[in-house]
Chain A
Amino acid sequence: AQSVTQLDSQVPVFEEAPVELRCNYSSSVSVYLFWYVQYPNQGLQLLLKYLSGSTLVKGINGFEAEFNKSQTSFHLRKPSVHISDTAEYFCAVRLLSSGSRLTFGEGTQLTVNP
């Protein structure tokens, strides 16, 4: 069975600082990888996804993530954050081989301070 670990439950940063949110997964088969963002009182919104091809994936709002197969990681990065990036971020995987269920990590609360 697949699992997802987000190593940091909370990440406080100052505005305009770079940020990295870490995600590791375990799976015996190939997976698709996703990052979702949840703003307060809203649903989950897709930031970016990795299906195949280039391991560096660019998403919305200036975020990017890099798929590292050898380290089974899919860390999310942004070079300069804004106050408006304050939200909960979820990493998720889906097996290529079967089904369409998403398996989520625990979530990382990113708080951007002025």
Chain B
Amino acid sequence: DAMVIQNPRYQVTQFGKPVTLSCSQTLNHNVMYWYQQKSSQAPKLLFHYYDKDFNNEADTPDNFQSRRPNTSFCFLDIRSPGLGDAAMYLCATNFGLGTNEKLFFGSGTQLSVL
């Protein structure tokens, strides 16, 4: 059974039209991450939550926001998508502790901006 679920798998939006991507996890873990992966590039951390504590990466544009209403759900909001925001968006949670800790990713949402 999938432990990190992302919806939808594919999302098409228009330039400048707000879009929300969703993620849920069944592990009841306190940390959730959002990564952006553009084609043939490294996944890049946008932000993460430790419980309700939001941690933004320094170079994440203000256009990207996130909400975590409860432990299970986390949302990525793109307020005004540009063509450069077309990418795979990956949600993850952690599993294990210390050197046994791993990130467990969802299947991702492929965002297209027209």
**Do they bind each other?**
no
